[in-house]
Structure 1
């Protein structure tokens, strides 16, 4: 019975990452394909199904859109489009919120999620790994003395949920590990320890 358990766990360790990877990729592919209208489907264009065709269509649309908004005419059209969306009450709230978050996270020169840090949480003496998302500003900064930073502390093993902490900059300890290494450490519940960076 002990041998059966050993071999079963060994097989599980081999197949679990493979199955989870395939599942994540399938969800991603299905999500991308779901945004392609039916008239651009391979059945409508070629009369038969072509696996991955809709994903290619999405990637091409994203690339072409990036080219268009990189010039003056494209930016003008984009501003007009945003002005139209800004006049629709419910759409305006959703679009502006999503756009502000995406601009912050995806900006090449942005600081969001670029630095892993240690922060004392949930109490003094207990440390959690978090990610700096910016510095406090506006009304929040007006109520705080000294420089404070925003730190997102993800939960384990689901890093998409977590807590936003606003702490003094002096209270955080910057880490040399990459964001990817920190996420692996969090998702694995501390099992996969990040390697020590070479000096």
Structure 2
């Protein structure tokens, strides 16, 4: 009787834990993102010190100066965004290409950053928008990996047809690995890019649709 009561209490407690687990994981992910942003643009970071310099002429507190500088930069980005939408993006991009790309080391870093931003801009990057989600079954019937198929045309490697697939990383799906796998390992995944991205960003909390046989 006592054992049955303990099992009932444990089951009820576990049910409550599972109910709160998605919220806990979401808060943990949010905390990680906040910590990452604080390291990149927080008051003690290099970029944060630039923000602090913008606000220091107006306030004495370092934290308030950083906050004021950040708000000023955010406000300043809005008219820049309007100018880009009105046609400034092309000339601005050409200006950066002609100046920054010619500077040793900085030019390489700018080129890498420019390609990274291009991957994020799916509306203007037809290559990324044309990718299709697929299931890759390693070994033909082994582990299933959700990946992207950038090109539906296979290539021949050592006399065997292969697909090039991109396997993203979670929770930041813009990175990952490029693999060449046999075509018989790859099957279409019945989902759009929005669901594909949400699966990786949620680190698997968002369930994928069942693979099509």
TM-score, with normalisation over the residues of structure 2? Answer: 0.60
CA contact (8 A) 2:133 2:196 kept: yes
1:27 matched to 2:15? The reply is no
Q: Which runs of 5+ in 1 are unaligned?
A: none
Q: Measured at CA, do residues 14 and 120 of structure 1 come closer, stay the same or move farther in structure 2, by a change above 3 Å? A: closer
Q: Which moved more, 1:30-39 or 1:86-95?
A: 30-39
- Count of matched residue positions in the alignment of Structure 1 and Structure 2: 190
Task: Work out the CA distance in 1 between the residues paired with 2:58 and 2:80.
Answer: 22
SS of the residue corresponding to residue 112 of structure 1 reads helix
1:116 matched to 2:124? The reply is no
Q: Compute the displacement of 1:91 (Å).
A: 1.0
CA contact (8 A) 1:32 1:54 kept: no
Q: Which runs of 5+ in 2 are unaligned?
A: 1-5
Task: Work out the CA distance in 2 between the residues paired with 1:9 and 1:53.
Answer: 45
Task: Work out the CA distance in 1 between the residues paired with 2:14 and 2:66.
Answer: 34
CA contact (8 A) 1:85 1:92 kept: yes
CA contact (8 A) 2:53 2:66 kept: no
User: Which structure has the larger Rg?
Assistant: 2
Q: Measured at CA, do residues 178 and 54 of structure 1 come closer, stay the same or move farther in structure 2, by a change above 3 Å? A: farther
Q: Deviations over 1:45-67 (max 9, x none)?
A: 35562896555444434433333
Q: Measured at CA, do residues 18 and 100 of structure 1 come closer, stay the same or move farther in structure 2, by a change above 3 Å? A: closer
Q: Which moved more, 1:65-74 or 1:182-191?
A: 182-191
Task: Work out the CA distance in 1 between the residues paired with 2:73 and 2:195.
Answer: 30
TM-score, with normalisation over the residues of structure 1? Answer: 0.63
Counterpart pick for 1:91 among 95, 106, 119? 106
Q: Which moved more, 1:100-109 or 1:156-165?
A: 156-165
Q: Which has the higher contact order (CA 8 A, sep 6+)?
A: 1
SS of the residue corresponding to residue 135 of structure 1 reads coil
SS of the residue corresponding to residue 118 of structure 1 reads strand
SS of the residue corresponding to residue 130 of structure 1 reads strand
Name whichever structure is richer in helix by fraction. Answer: 2
CA contact (8 A) 2:166 2:176 kept: yes
